[in-house]
Amino acid sequence: MEHKKRVLITGGAGFIGSHLCDLFLEKGFRVACMDNLITGKLENIRHHLNSRDFEFIRHDVSDYIDVKGRVDYILHFASPASPADYLKYPIQTLKVGSLGTHNALGLARVKRAKFLLASTSEVYGDPLVNPQPESYWGNVNPIGPRGVYDEAKRFAEAMTMAYRHYHRLDTRIVRIFNTYGPRMRRNDGRAIPNFICQALAGRPITIYGTGRQSRSFCYVTDLVDGIYRLIMSKEHEPVNIGNPDEMSLLELAGLIIKLADSRSEIVHKTLPIDDPKVRCPDISKAKKMLRWKPKVTLRQGLSKTVNYFRL
């Protein structure tokens, strides 16, 4: 067992983190999953708890991190990630992006581990450029309600690059665009779980604003494949991972109503402050550097996700 590479995934009991645990175990790694379970769930990783190659560590990464034994890779995914969560936990979101990132980077330095930061398309804010390339610096309101998440991730990117330049740490940064799939929480607050749960229950589907604002949605297995390719690559600058197929929220709601065989109607509510009008990744870099592109169509992915929420 000792010859196997070992990966630490912070936030590993969360939606994306748990799928990363699956992937690394499938690829023959030993996996240490660290989570304080504020937004993560043990149910997401319960199927691994009896595995000799898996361990769960309940810990808040905003506090000092000490992991015994060798660590070859660290994937830092700990953070509230939906607007409902980071508006509920604004201070914790800022702390995990700053102190948590600092602690995880410090551990990577001690262990001489490769480090990957989970950043976000939110670093682009309400973008004035569409689609968004990695070279775009963004249009962010630092003191708006979404600023606690946007700026935490922007700081985390700066801290990661500082460790790379000053300490010569081997780092990666992935900018994750809207992702969906099984293990999303019903009360997540984001469009897809909201729409699916409302459609399955026959309740009105709530759209904020006109619904003409656009998003692009990447199925979770495509995302974690891109993340794996990135950490195994030699690319140190940020890389967008997402699906560039853009659609309006009205179109998304209509598709979910069909897939759920629902009679739900659409109702409109006031658009939240600083809600992005467009969100679409330029994935030219991922295609070139990682030879990656999404494979799962939105209809295929939504069908699987609707079936998950039916259970």
Q: pLDDT class for 272, splitting at 50, 70, 90?
A: confident
Residue intervals of the chain classified under CATH 3.40.50.720 are 6-180+219-244+280-294
What pLDDT, on the 0 to 100 scale, is given for residue 198?
Answer: 97
Widest pairwise Cα distance in the chain: 58
- Residues whose CB is less than 8 angstroms from the CB of residue 224 and which lie 6 or more positions away in sequence, other chains included: 16, 19, 20, 22, 23
d(CA 218, CA 141): 26
Whether pLDDT at 275 is above 90: no
Is the distance from CB of 211 to CB of 253 less than 8 angstroms? Answer: yes
Alpha carbon 107 to its chain centroid, in Å, reads 21
Is the distance from CB of 114 to CB of 168 less than 8 angstroms? Answer: no
Q: Which long-range contacts (CB under 8 A, 24 or more apart) does 109-112 make?
A: 109/163, 109/167, 109/169, 111/67, 111/70, 111/71, 111/72, 111/74
pTM of the model: 0.96
pLDDT tens for residues 130-164? Answer: 999 999 999 999 999 999 999 999 999 999 999 99
pLDDT tens for residues 20-44? Answer: 999 999 999 999 999 999 999 999 9
pLDDT tens for residues 182-215? Answer: 999 998 889 999 999 999 999 999 999 999 999 9
Mean pLDDT score of the chain: 96
Q: pLDDT class for 269, splitting at 50, 70, 90?
A: very high
d(CA 138, CA 83): 18
Q: Phi, psi (5° rounding) for residue 80?
A: -55, 140
What pLDDT, on the 0 to 100 scale, is given for residue 2?
Answer: 60
d(CA 292, CA 209): 34
**Who has greater pLDDT, 311 or 63?**
63
Looking at residues 113-123, what average pLDDT do you find?
A: 98
Q: pLDDT class for 281, splitting at 50, 70, 90?
A: very high
Q: pLDDT class for 273, splitting at 50, 70, 90?
A: confident
Q: pLDDT class for 92, splitting at 50, 70, 90?
A: very high
- DSSP characters over 18-83: HHHHHHHHHTT-EEEEEE--SS--GGGTGGGTT-TTEEEEE--TTS-----S---EEEE--S--SH
| Catalytic option among 86, 89, 149, 180 | 149
Q: pLDDT class for 305, splitting at 50, 70, 90?
A: very high
Q: pLDDT class for 311, splitting at 50, 70, 90?
A: confident
CATH 3.20.20.140 is right for the domain spanning 191-213+246-278+301-310: no
Residue intervals of the chain classified under CATH 3.90.25.10 are 191-213+246-278+301-310
CATH of domain 6-180+219-244+280-294: 3.40.50.720
Helix (H, G, I), strand (E, B) or coil at 158: helix
d(CA 288, CA 304): 29
Amino acid found at 140? V
Instruction: Give catalytic status of residue 149 as yes or no.
Output: yes
Radius of gyration of the chain (CA): 19
What pLDDT, on the 0 to 100 scale, is given for residue 182?
Answer: 98
Helix (H, G, I), strand (E, B) or coil at 311: coil
